[in-house]
Amino acid sequence: MSRISTGLLVGLMLAFAPVAARAQQKAADPAVIAKGEYLARAGDCIACHTAREGKTFAGGLPMKTPFGTLYTSNITPDPQTGIGTWTSDQFYRMMHNGRFPDGGLVYPAMPFASYTQVTREDSDAIYAYLRTVSPVRQLNKPHELTFPFNNRSLILGWRTLFFREGEFKPDPGKSAEWNRGAYLVEGLGHCGMCHTPINALGGSSQSQAFEGGLIPMQNWYAPSLTSNKETGLGDWTIEEIVDYLRKGVSAKGAVYGPMAEVVYNSLQYLNDDDVRAMAVYLKGLAQRGSPEKPSTPLPSAESSLLLSFGKPIYDRECASCHGATGQGMPPDYPPLAGNQSIQMVSAVNPIRMVLNGGYPPGTSGNPMPHGMPPFAQKLSDDEVAAVVTYIRTAWGNRGEPVSARQANELRAATLN
């Protein structure tokens, strides 16, 4: 190597030294990296940023939206195709303000609207951890969005309506535990991304935070976490909420559908204190006391027919696991009597459970879950409607009847 080029190299190295030194200094602290790994779990980065059978954090997972398909990014430290050249400032700006290093706008499918609440210190820890994962050279796949959604400037409108930048501000009137729970649920946990009605632009509306909504393209309904009308959390003990979030099964119900993914990839890895804090916060969101009965129109001739037709089907096909009176055998088989998650106004969840069956996720607290068989082949639309009507209205349950048409429509729902 000639003198000149060596000199150039040294010059370059000097120019980059401050950045490199800062990155290295962080990377050298194993405690920060471990914390970052834990926080990345709490944020469930892996679920979106890893394709099936793909390399960890190399992105490429398709995310279907009503406007087209987005592909997640490579967030490994590869300098060309990943985020290897990003500084911790640039990373924080992405998490906090949803902007690329060049100022470009990020699609809100990346949950920066929740991550904005994450503290600078926690963002730096996640950054430090991501620098230690194996770099993967894999170009990002271009998004396949329909006009006009392929125009990123449209995100500006969404941001004006729905994005409120700002780190989490603890409420001094509440306990440290409540505040920790709020920080995790509202911030890294991005629970509101599903548990809030999705508006036409694919954002969640703040004014209706945590009030529940149908997840577009997936045909699952995420119940409201705020009121007893949709979730029974007001009647759950802290222990039961902790079991539900961490093991995936509890005395009150089991997780299923998209919630199973959240428990499998994220919540089961959180420590007891943090899950407990989340439970305390969630219980505070739910109001106590008996919820009002939804204004169900008197059962028509059709729905009472469905009901009397539903009981024999239940006794034959379901009672062996869920019990003659819907009491279940928790934690293996969830109770259906008093189970709020099947009585909501939207009947999507119980219909899909009957059609598709399901397994709660395998977790360290429940490594070998029991499963429910799919009934799509065995039961006709009328029979599905009848048995779902039955479980929504028997044993004091307060759900409304469902029609054969609703059952039929969900036969085409995407499974996975």
Partner 1 sequence: MAARVLACAPCHGAEGEGTSDVYFPRLAGKPAGYLYNQLIAFRDGRRKYPPMNYLLEFQTDDYLKKIAEYFASLRPAFPPPVPPVDSKEILARGEAIVKNGDPQHGIPPCSACHGPALGGMEPGIPGLLGLRAAYISGQLGGWRYGTRTALAPDCMQVVAGLLTEDDVKAVAAYLSSRPAPADPSFAPRGSLPMPLECGSEPH
210 is an interface residue for ligand HEC by CB under 6 A: no
- Stretch of 196-204, 255-263, 296-304, 407-415 contacting ligand HEC, by CB under 6 A: 255-263
Place of tokens 């509890």: 250
Alpha carbons 338 and 102: distance in angstroms, whole number: 52
Contact status: 332 vs partner 1 (CB under 8 A): yes
- Rounded (10°) angle between helices 258-265 and 238-247: 90
Report the candidate in 177, 155, 165, 174 with the shortest Cα–Cα distance to residue 118. 165
Please state, in angstroms and rounded to a whole number, the distance separating the CA atoms of residues 70 and 146. 11
- Footprint of ligand HEC on 32-91 (CB under 6 A): 40, 43-45, 47-49, 63, 70, 72-73, 75, 83
Query: Which one of the spans 26-34, 162-170, 199-207, 337-345 is the region binding ligand HEC (CB under 6 A)?
Result: 337-345
Nearest approach in angstroms of CB 396 to ligand HEC is: 16
Our CB check for ligand HEC shows the closer of 235 and 409 to be 235
Q: Which of residues 149-168 bind ligand HEC (CB under 6 A)?
A: none
Only one of the segments 1-9, 293-301, 331-339, 398-406 lies at the binding site for ligand HEC (rule: CB under 6 A); that segment is 331-339
| Member of 36, 187, 202, 257 binding ligand HEC (CB under 6 A) | 257
User: Using CB under 8 A, which residues numbered 348 to 367 contact partner 1?
Assistant: 356-362, 367
User: Is residue 99 within the footprint of ligand HEC (CB under 6 A)?
Assistant: no
The span from the CA of 405 to the CA of 399, in Å, is: 17
Identify each DSSP E strand in 351-390 by its residue range. none
Which one of ligand HEC, partner 1, none interacts with residue 356, CB within 5 to 8 A by kind?
Answer: partner 1
**If you search the block for the tokens 């890893």, which residue do you land on?**
50
Q: How far is the CB of 318 from ligand HEC (least distance, A)?
A: 3
Under rule CB under 8 A, residue 411 binds partner 1: no
DSSP 291-356: PPPP-PPPPPHHHHHHHHHHHHHHHHHTHHHH-TTS--BTTTB---TT-GGGTSS--HHHHHHHHH
Q: Least distance (Å) from partner 1 to the CB of residue 162?
A: 30
Sign of CA dihedral 154, 160, 162, 166: positive
Residue listed under structure tokens 């962080």: 26
Task: Please give the residue ranges that form the binding site for partner 1 (CB under 8 A).
Answer: 52-53, 260-261, 263-264, 321, 332, 356-362, 367-378, 415-416
